[in-house]
Amino acid sequence: MAEMSHVRQIHDEEWPQLMDLYEQMHPEDPVLSSNELQPLLQQIQEDDYHYLFGAFVEDKLVATCVLVIIPNLTRGGKPYGLIENVVTDARFRRQDLATRVLKIALETAWQQQCYKVMLMTGAQEAGTLQFYEQAGFACGVKTGLIAKP
């Protein structure tokens, strides 16, 4: 495990580090200008159901995920969670940092009374799927479908 690491919610001043991690995940994505980024950041900050968790080695953000809690009218009114944008800096992989980030996301979802948490991945590698299973997710329970414009 990485020395001097800790996991917590990402603070406002750490957004640039988060965007650097996202660039590693999706290098083909267009870079958002400050004018495009600021309203999105404000919307995320103001949303009580939107969580950004990070693993830090010293003061450097090295792994992250997003948890969104979605209110629900079924399952006795219990919400469900959605985890997205799981990424670890390439230099810090295989140190259990993403596992720790997913663990705090799941703990938060259970504290919020979620009846389930969903995560989709485009990865097909057996090792990546095994990683998610070891972190508490089950493959093959439901079928994920995606629509794009």
CATH number reported for the structural domain that contains residue 27 in this entry: 3.40.630.30
Tell me how many degrees the CA angle 65-81-135 measures, rounded to the nearest 5: 55
Residue 144 lies in a domain: no
As given in the structure block, the two tokens for residue 65 are: 């995920």
Residue 149 lies in a domain: no
pLDDT by residue (tens digit) across 58-96? 999 999 999 999 999 999 999 999 999 999 999 999 999
Residue 39 lies in a domain: yes
Helix (H, G, I), strand (E, B) or coil at 117: strand
Residue 74 lies in a domain: yes
Give the up-direction half-sphere exposure of residue 28: CA atoms within 13 A in the CB hemisphere.
Answer: 0
Residue 119, beta-bridge partner list: 83
State the average pLDDT for the chain.
92
Instruction: Return d(Cα 52, Cα 11) in angstroms, integer.
Output: 9
Helix (H, G, I), strand (E, B) or coil at 97: helix
Tell me how many degrees the CA angle 115-118-120 measures, rounded to the nearest 5: 175
pLDDT by residue (tens digit) across 97-132? 999 999 999 999 999 999 999 999 888 888 888 999
Residues of the domain holding 85: 5-134
Residue 146 lies in a domain: no
* This prediction's pTM: 0.91
